[in-house]
Every structure is written in C-alpha cells, then in structure tokens.
C-alpha cells in the first residue's frame, strides 16, 4: 500500500524535481521574494516541458483549470448577490474541489495499478529504482540532520 501512496505522489515529485532542476527565466513583474519567483518560474517551465511531452495532458489541464476559474467567478458573483450565504457557498465549493481532487487521485492510482498490470517488468524496475532513490533521500536527510544537530526534531 505504501508503494501506491508514493505512486500517487510521483507526478508531483517529478514536477518539483523538474522544477528545481532548471533555473527558468523569472518573470520580471514578479514581486515576491527572489526564491519564490524562481520557484514559480521553475514550476511554469516544468509544466511547459510536460506539455511538450504530452499535449493531451496539457489540453486536459487547461480545460480543468478553466472550469475551476469559471466556478470561482460564479462563486464570487453569488457571494455578491447573497452575502449572507457566502460562507455556505464557499464551503460547498471547497467540498466539490476536494471531491474532484480525490477522484483524480483515485483515477491516477487506478491508472498506475493498470500500468503495473500491463507492464510487470517495467513496473518492477520502476519500484526497484524508486527504492534506491528513497534510500538515497533517506541517507541525505540523515547527513543533513548530522550537519545541524541542534535543530529541533519531532517525535
């Protein structure tokens, strides 16, 4: 079960790794901190690269983002018309968004399980490489903890 949690997080991890791997050009109009502007630029570059690699994913992403923006606009409009119901409308909107995220996670999990069923050799290779990467990550975290021994740690 743990491997499937990791499988669910892999696309996000891939985007963050890809985003950190490059120093994309920062938007000159960005008013946040230099680090935040760089992070955003890296994320945009990672999405751009993903869109180049998979145009269908990009098309679906754009469609979903457009739907969400339209829902947000409608929520704002309804809040202006009915200020007394705004909290309830916002709560319903958040519930719908959380439900969509859950459905997307479940769909991704099923797709990944199907991929493993269809490609057992590649799946085992992927799992093996993932375990190696996780071991490396754990080792690096341990080294970092040794480097900063006075940093408070949770239980």
Task: Give the start-to-end residue ranges of the domains of the chain.
Answer: 12-53
Mean pLDDT (the chain) is: 86
- Tell me which DSSP letter residue 81 carries: H
Looking at residue 87, what is its pLDDT? 94
Mean pLDDT to the nearest integer, 121-133: 97
Looking at residue 153, what is its pLDDT? 82
Find the distance separating the first CA and the last CA of the chain, reported in whole Å. 24
Looking at residue 22, what is its pLDDT? 57
Looking at residue 59, what is its pLDDT? 96
Which stretch of 2-6, 76-80, 147-151 has the lowest confidence by average pLDDT?
Answer: 2-6
Whole-angstrom CA distances from 117 to 41, 45, 108, 114 are: 37, 32, 14, 5
Of the CA atoms within 13 Å of residue 33, those in its CB half-sphere come to 3
């Amino acid at each position: 079960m743990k491997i499937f949690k990791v499988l669910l997080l892999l696309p996000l991890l891939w985007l963050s790794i890809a985003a950190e791997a490059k120093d994309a050009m920062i938007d000159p109009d960005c008013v946040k901190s230099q680090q935040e502007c760089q992070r955003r630029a890296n994320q945009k570059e990672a999405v751009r690269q993903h869109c180049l690699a998979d145009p269908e994913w990009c098309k679906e992403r754009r469609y979903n983002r457009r739907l969400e923006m339209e829902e947000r606009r409608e929520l704002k409009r309804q809040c202006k018309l009915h200020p007394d119901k705004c909290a309830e409308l916002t709560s319903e909107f958040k519930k719908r968004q959380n439900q969509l995220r859950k459905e997307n996670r479940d769909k991704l999990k099923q797709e990944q399980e199907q991929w493993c069923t269809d490609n057992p050799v590649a799946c085992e290779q992927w799992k093996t490489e993932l375990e190696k990467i996780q071991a490396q990550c754990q080792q690096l975290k341990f080294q970092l903890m040794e480097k900063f021994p006075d940093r408070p740690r949770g239980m």
